[in-house]
Amino acid sequence: MPAVIRKTCFLMSCCLVGATVLAQSTPSPLDDLVQLPALALKDTRQVFAAPSRWDSQDWAIAGLGTAGFLGAAFLVDSRLDRRTREHPGDSLKGLEPLGGAGSLLIVGGAYLGGSVFGQDALKSYGTDAGLSMVVAELGIVLPLKYLTGRSRPKANQGSGHFSPFGGDVSFPSTHTTQAFILASVLSEHTDNPWVSAGAYGVASLVGLSRIQQREHFFSDVLAGAAIGTFVGRTVTAYNRTLRSKGTLANLDLSFTPVLAPGYQGGMVHLRF
């Protein structure tokens, strides 16, 4: 069977499994297509304001996570990449689409399938995962990539080579971020611990596949996993509260025309 057919079947199976494990929920106008731009703005604000709501335990966990990342960067990256270079392989390469185009296929399929077949929980999963990807990639991952300018392992410049705004984009791993968003949102939508464990396990393998292909260092993957999990869980929890209210709440969008000599235009006011 050609590889492309195997990958397509695998991705379709993921969608089917997701549809069977998500519980039914009450239809919500929050997930209507016309609401998504406004919801994306609110989700973005919720993610970036999250640290202001952390307690001492949350900050302790964040500190330990940062320490773990720095330890991985200094102690593990070079050694693991050297071992990967000496023992190349591609046994996990087939999982890479789950962090790339395949993740978009799953999100789009969940949203469209939920809309067409009246599966509201599946549609909500597509909403939460899709918006999490938008927030994570545009608000965190892409800025970090270009700010740090870390070279990829396959460039053979070492794990400590950073050239801010230099065009290298190894840190953090986009594929891993996407995969962990799929996993964390699915985990938030189901009470089955085995489903959650399986989802996170597959996401971890996606990250390992990027290391195996020498596209990322271990710390790139670790950072991507943390970002994907944090954003996915935060967005899903927040959207759940909005669905319980049945409204976006406190969103005010207005347009004021501005006419002056030599100028015609307008001002858009958004309060949320």
Residue 250: predicted pLDDT: 44
pTM, two decimal places:
0.83
Domain positions in the chain are 3-271
Residue 40: predicted pLDDT: 93
Cβ proximity of 180 and 225 under 8 Å: yes
Cβ proximity of 46 and 238 under 8 Å: yes
What gap in Å lies between CA 92 and CA 102, rounded to an integer? 15
Dihedrals φ, ψ of 120, to 5°?
-65, -35
CATH architecture type of domain 3-271: Up-down Bundle (1.20)
Splitting the chain (272 residues) into consecutive groups of 10 residues, what average pLDDT does each group show?
47 48 57 89 95 90 84 87 90 90 94 90 94 97 95 93 91 96 95 92 96 94 95 96 72 52 52 46
Residue 82: predicted pLDDT: 93
Structure tokens at 174: 């986009």
Render the burial of 126-145: b for 16+ CB within 10 Å, e for the rest.
bbbbbbbbbbbbebbbeebb
Structure tokens at 143: 């800025």
Residue 64: predicted pLDDT: 86
